């Protein structure tokens, strides 16, 4: 075997033996370090995942949504507005939409009720692919998301009822269910026809909640939105990039604030490591001196320390990141979700997209492992360049 490689293996072997010799101390450092990395990584993963989840949700959303406001609050919008937009150049299609939330008192869950004519949506055919069964067309027909079906506890029944605002019952019949791989978008969804949704929410037949505007060229979204604003004063015109940016700013700000707090903890740990390492114990200094006298180069000792610190910090990084991944994507980031999402109860539960970018991992590595390496290797270097004769007499 190559001598240089064999030397590295020898040093690594010695490192592992050295770690074993001081196993309690090293285990303690590793656990504390892993805990700090876990906190930082959890935030990073949660922010990235929430942003990705929001982007994913928005990918299926219309490019422009037009809502009517009255006294700053949204209200039903007359379908006659639709005719006023027909002449705007660049609009591909407009779909009136009825949507709202239905609060189920029995389960404490909020369902999203949505109704739109698939024929008016550019990607309306994808709805067929997303469900088992058929699309609702007749009276009382609905398609349910898995979360809603579970929450209503239908147990094979096809019929159920929901309350109208005047507390009369509206009978409904399940004609299909959304496939589980669309859970992220459909878990809390009750999809029905516009007429049935109007009936459920008691919305007038010539009204809808908003207009979904699809444009031919995505680069013209803002121009078309301005035209719509000018044509329909008193409406709120939301564009997909605006919503996307809002999500990014909100998550970014909250995450940034929390990250500053956690980075302070990380910095404190590094300072502690520096303080600990710069005051090398007499035993450690003696060991360095012995190795030097026995013919170890300063570089060999630094390499030894490097391997040692890299093993401790690398394992802590791996442990911290793995725990953070499980915490965020298996347990839903319960520890920090209130900080990033607010304290409202979301039903059915929001499932986060497992999104981990290599750049995030690298960032955490750079912020944690690299300073720790410096904090432990530099003092060892300072000890190694001192002539070893005094330490070993």
- Residues at the contact surface with another protein, assessed by CB under 8 A: 1-7, 9-11, 13-14, 17, 21, 286-287, 290-300, 385, 387-389, 392-393
Q: How far is the CB of 297 from another protein (least distance, A)?
A: 5
Q: Determine the distance from the C-alpha atom of residue 90 to the mean position of all C-alpha atoms in its chain, rounded to a whole number.
A: 34
- Distance between CA atoms of 381 and 379, rounded to whole angstroms? 5
Shortest distance, position 277 Cβ to another protein, whole Å: 19
Q: Which is nearer to another protein, 21 or 92 (CB)?
A: 21
User: CA-CA distance, 301 to 298, in Å (whole number)?
Assistant: 5
Between 15 and 255, CB nearer to another protein: 15
- Whether the link from the prior residue into 348 is cis, omega within 30° of 0, is yes
Q: Minimum Å distance from CB 393 to another protein?
A: 6
**Token pair of 315 as six digits:** 């394992």
Q: Which is nearer to another protein, 14 or 325 (CB)?
A: 14
- To another protein, the closest distance from the beta carbon of 311 in angstroms equals 17
At closest approach, how far in Å is the CB of 301 from another protein?
9
Nearer residue to another protein within complex by CB, 370 or 392 = 392
Identity of the residue, 17 or 155, whose beta carbon is nearer to another protein in the bound complex: 17
Minimal distance in Å, beta carbon 12 to another protein?
Answer: 10
Q: How far is the CB of 383 from another protein (least distance, A)?
A: 14
Helix (H, G, I), strand (E, B) or coil at 33: helix
Q: Which is nearer to another protein, 14 or 274 (CB)?
A: 14
Instruction: Tell me whether residue 8 or residue 359 sits nearer to another protein (CB atom).
Output: 8
Distances (CA, A) of 318 to 79, 179, 262, 358: 56, 35, 18, 13
Separation CA 316–CA 256 (nearest Å): 23
Distance CA 348, CA 111 (A): 8
Q: Which DSSP string corresponds to 218-246?
A: GGGHHHHHHHHHHHSTTEEEEEHHHHHHH
Collapsed DSSP state (helix, strand, coil) of residue 217: coil
The C-alpha atoms of residue 3 and residue 68 are separated, in whole angstroms, by 77
**Residues paired with residue 112 on neighbouring β-strands, in sequence order:** 101, 189
Q: Smaller CB distance to another protein: residue 167 or 294?
A: 294
Residue number, 219 or 393, with CB nearest to another protein: 393
Residue 388 C-beta: closest distance to another protein, Å: 6
Q: CB of 8: closest distance to another protein in angstroms? A: 8
Contact 304, 11 (CB under 8 A): yes
| Cβ-contact 305, 297 below 8 angstroms | no
The 3-class SS string of 282-302 reads HHHHHHHHHHHHCCCCHHHHH
Helix/strand/coil (H, E, C) string of 335-364?
CCHHHHHCCCCCCCCCCCCCCCCHHHHHHH
């Amino acid at each position: 075997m190559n001598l240089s490689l064999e030397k590295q293996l020898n040093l690594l072997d010695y490192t592992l033996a050295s770690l074993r010799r001081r196993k309690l101390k090293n285990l303690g450092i590793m656990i504390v370090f892993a805990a700090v990395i876990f906190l930082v990584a959890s935030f990073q993963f949660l922010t990235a995942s929430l942003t990705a989840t929001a982007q994913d949700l928005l990918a299926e959303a219309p490019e422009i949504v037009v809502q009517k406001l009255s006294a700053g609050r949204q209200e039903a919008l007359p379908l006659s507005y639709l005719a006023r937009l027909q002449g705007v150049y660049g609009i591909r299609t407009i779909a009136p939409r009825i949507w709202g939330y239905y609060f189920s008192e029995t389960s404490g869950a909020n369902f999203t009720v949505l109704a739109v004519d698939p024929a008016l949506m550019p990607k309306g055919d994808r709805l067929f692919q997303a469900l088992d069964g058929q699309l609702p067309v007749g009276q009382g027909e609905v398609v349910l998301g898995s979360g809603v079906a579970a929450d209503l506890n239908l147990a094979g029944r096809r019929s159920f009822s929901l309350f109208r605002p005047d507390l009369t019952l509206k009978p409904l019949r399940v004609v299909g269910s959304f496939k589980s791989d669309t859970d992220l978008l459909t878990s809390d969804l009750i999809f029905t026809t516009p007429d049935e949704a109007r009936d459920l929410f008691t919305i007038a037949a010539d009204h809808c909640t908003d207009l979904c505007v699809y444009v031919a060229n995505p680069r013209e979204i803002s121009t078309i939105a301005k035209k719509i604003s000018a044509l329909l004063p008193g409406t709120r015109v939301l564009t997909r990039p605006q919503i996307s940016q809002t999500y990014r700013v909100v998550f970014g700000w909250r995450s940034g604030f929390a990250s500053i707090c956690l980075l302070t903890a990380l910095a404190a740990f590094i300072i502690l490591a520096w303080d600990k390492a710069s005051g090398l114990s007499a035993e450690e200094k003696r060991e360095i001196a012995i190795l030097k006298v026995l013919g170890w180069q300063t570089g060999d000792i630094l390499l030894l320390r490097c391997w040692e610190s890299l093993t401790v910090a690398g394992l802590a990084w791996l442990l911290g990141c793995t725990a953070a991944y499980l915490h965020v994507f298996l347990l839903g980031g319960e520890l920090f979700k209130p900080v990033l999402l607010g304290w409202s109860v979301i039903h059915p539960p929001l499932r986060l997209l497992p999104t981990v970018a290599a750049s995030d991992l690298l960032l955490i590595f750079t912020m944690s492992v690299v300073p720790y390496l410096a904090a432990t290797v530099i003092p060892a270097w300072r000890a190694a360049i001192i002539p070893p004769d005094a330490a070993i007499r």
